[in-house]
């Protein structure tokens, strides 16, 4: 799929971008170019060193808020992964206009730049927080998802197609609970918001693999949701610091007790496959029955909800220990 192709990753120096680059260079040795588009020159310098200055890598300093820079960066690009976002919930609450400029206006810039440059396919990374959002970050990502789905109606005579991939917590990503718990473990206690709390769980490699599969599957307008396991926050605490004292600190503002990836309202448009779901777009030209027949899926029942507490796939303490081994110091 990516042989002799150029792919651009916005927010490419983040946890996902680095893993995506690693896997693409390994899996597609004939890829033409991988362009890392991000704001931080130090992170780009460090990433170039990490990949031993691979000649297929290009580093563009730029911000998705800057439409002109995106236009220049996407010249000759066939595939785009939009991973750039302002994603820390407290920071978005305190700096709402900045979150809107990056997550919403930035999405618009990516869409227009991709269409005008004739990009073939674009996948935007979403989050569980975009389903029935209760914080500003989730609200901006819901808006971003809507923009990317609707972007397919803006292409006119161009062949550009847009889809979205939505999944839950990534094990060990920057700012996530695993590195936080590992650091807190040194102090002898782990702060837990609520012992009932559950989360979806996915590794970086699984996330990258799902994005690549979605590139191959997409027709334009789908929101792809992988079937992934859930875990209980107390089990994670046991896996990381079994000897630690647990302190219940209460749910933070803008935080949910359980994660939600498919709402009951989305169920009427959702198709289930063996290892993933597709939320179909509501386009006049979208042939629902044809899509289901072609891909071998089945419609979910009315009122279906996919949340971390009603999942039928749960991780044990031992499985969690195994998943976080690489982050142990």
Catalogue the active-site residues: 129
11 conformational bin, left if phi > 0, alpha if psi -120 to 50, beta if neither? left
Which residue do the tokens 């009951």 mark?
264
* Main-chain dihedrals φ then ψ at residue 175, nearest 5 degrees: 80, 5
- State how far the Cα of 242 lies from the Cα of 77, in Å rounded to an integer: 48
User: With contact defined as beta carbons under 8 Å apart, do 239 and 263 qualify?
Assistant: no
Q: Structure tokens of 310?
A: 């009603």
User: With contact defined as beta carbons under 8 Å apart, do 172 and 178 qualify?
Assistant: yes
- State how far the Cα of 298 lies from the Cα of 281, in Å rounded to an integer: 16
- State how far the Cα of 217 lies from the Cα of 225, in Å rounded to an integer: 13
Tell me the C-alpha to C-alpha distance, in Å, between residue 101 and each of 98, 107, 109.
5, 9, 10
Report which DSSP code applies to 151.
Answer: G
- β-strands 189-192, 245-248: how paired? parallel
- State how far the Cα of 315 lies from the Cα of 294, in Å rounded to an integer: 33
Nearest to 252 by CA among 127, 158, 137: 137
Nearest to 105 by CA among 63, 138, 135: 63
């Amino acid at each position: 799929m990516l042989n002799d192709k150029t792919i651009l990753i916005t927010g490419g120096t983040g946890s996902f971008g680095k893993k995506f680059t690693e896997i693409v260079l390994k899996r597609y040795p004939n890829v033409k170019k991988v362009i890392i588009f991000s704001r931080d020159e130090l992170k780009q310098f460090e990433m170039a060193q990490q990949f031993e200055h691979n000649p297929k890598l290009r580093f563009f300093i730029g911000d998705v808020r800057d439409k002109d820079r995106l236009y220049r960066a996407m010249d000759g690009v066939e595939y785009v992964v939009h991973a750039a976002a302002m994603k820390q919930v407290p920071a978005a609450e305190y700096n709402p206009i900045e979150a809107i400029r990056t997550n919403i206006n930035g999405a618009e810039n990516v869409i227009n730049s991709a269409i005008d440059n004739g990009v073939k396919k674009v996948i935007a990374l979403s989050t569980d927080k975009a389903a029935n959002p209760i914080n500003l970050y989730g609200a901006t990502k819901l808006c971003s998802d809507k923009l990317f789905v609707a972007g397919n109606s803006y292409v006119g005579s161009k062949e550009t197609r847009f889809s979205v991939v939505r999944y839950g917590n990534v094990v060990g990503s920057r700012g996530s609970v695993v590195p936080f718990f590992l650091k807190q473990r040194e102090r002898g206690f782990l702060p837990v918001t609520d012992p009932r709390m559950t989360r979806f769980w996915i590794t970086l490699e699984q996330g990258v693999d799902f994005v690549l599969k979605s590139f191959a599957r997409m027709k334009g307008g789908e929101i792809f949701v992988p079937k992934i396991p859930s875990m209980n926050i107390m089990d994670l605490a046991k896996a990381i610091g079994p000897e630690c004292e647990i302190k219940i600190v209460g749910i933070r503002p803008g935080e949910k007790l359980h994660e939600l990836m498919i709402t009951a309202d989305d169920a009427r448009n959702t198709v289930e496959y063996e290892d993933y779901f597709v939320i179909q777009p509501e386009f006049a030209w979208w042939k629902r029955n044809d899509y289901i027949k072609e891909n071998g899926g089945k419609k979910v029942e009315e009122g279906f909800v996919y949340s971390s507490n009603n999942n039928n796939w749960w991780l044990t303490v031992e499985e969690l220990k195994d998943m976080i081994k690489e982050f142990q110091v």
